[in-house]
Structure 1
Amino acid sequence: MRFPYFICKKGAVDKMKIFMALFAAVLTVLTVSCSSEQDPKKEKHVVSAARFPKLKDYSLELSVVTPRKEYYAGEENVKITFSLKNVGLTPVTLDEWYMFESANINVYYAPGTLAQTASLPEEQWKQSPTYDRKRKRINLRSPLVLNPGTNHALVVVPLTFLKDLRDAGRHVPYTIKGKLNLQSVDVESVPFEITVK
């Protein structure tokens, strides 16, 4: 039985070499382009971790909408609700808004009535943790757009400091305020008073 065989002429060999060289060049270009397509993802990650520039034109209002005024010392799982509203004339976009909602607001408290804490220095206010800083993926962000008018964001945060309080045998006033935990804006609620029994 005879097997077919091919005789390659010199011209055919040259064409084959040219084809192989072109194929290698195309393969190299494709490899480089695929690698460069991954770079934007890395850059995006770097941008998300960078400082967010401060907004210049915004008018936001942070307020408490929880009606409850009395709490118990040692009480756990207590939550209050804040409302963030755009009271300006133009839409406001908060690019650094945390996907884990309660991380967007820091809660501060001080013993005393509104009148007693009115001139209290900032360093004398204590922070009540609203989220676990070690929580996985805590730094994930999702832009929040607030349009003027009735559009607002409701944020529920825990009042964790209550569980560490001890019963004093009397009603003790505390003043609480919330502040956005964001770099791009500086927004703080009007302080409000609660009573701990």
Structure 2
Amino acid sequence: MPGRVRLEDRECPLSTTVARVGEWWTLLILHDAFDGYTRFDQFQANLGISSSMLTTRLKALVADGILERRPYRAGPTRHEYVLTDLGRSLRPVVVALAAWGNARLAPEERSMILVDARTGNEVEPVVVDAATGRGLDDSEAFVFAAGPAASPAMRARYPGGVGRAGAADSPGPG
């Protein structure tokens, strides 16, 4: 799906991430993979997705290094799709999306919740800064800034940068 990213957004990590995993079927395939599904027929039966769409999405996830295609049976050869380290690193993103959706529902309307595997108690996922433990939902405390590889256009959008004066003073629109 790289063709959907505007030329000026190709360096934006949000745009490139959405181009790889932001499509509806792709997120659902990843959700199933996090639940332990690995085989084509498992994904297809659970999602009700067409063979051609599933083939396309699995090929893209393999090409992007998110899933690895491995043979599990010979004669005829059958393959499974296993999460890579890169793929497993997407789990917090999918968990955060599900939590965001659940937060807009009354507790009795939630069809799926995240629980502590040991206690069974429902948990509320939050995204925090690893260094300070502060929640990243405060858009005044945490802003985007131009990074070391930023183009002139990105530097114009985000004039501050890491370790540069004015980073917090010029948050930009993001």
Q: TM-score by structure 1 length?
A: 0.18
Give the number of the structure whose residues are more often strand, by fraction: 1
Larger Rg: 1
Q: Which has the higher contact order (CA 8 A, sep 6+)?
A: 1
Give the number of the structure whose residues are more often helix, by fraction: 2
Q: TM-score by structure 2 length?
A: 0.20
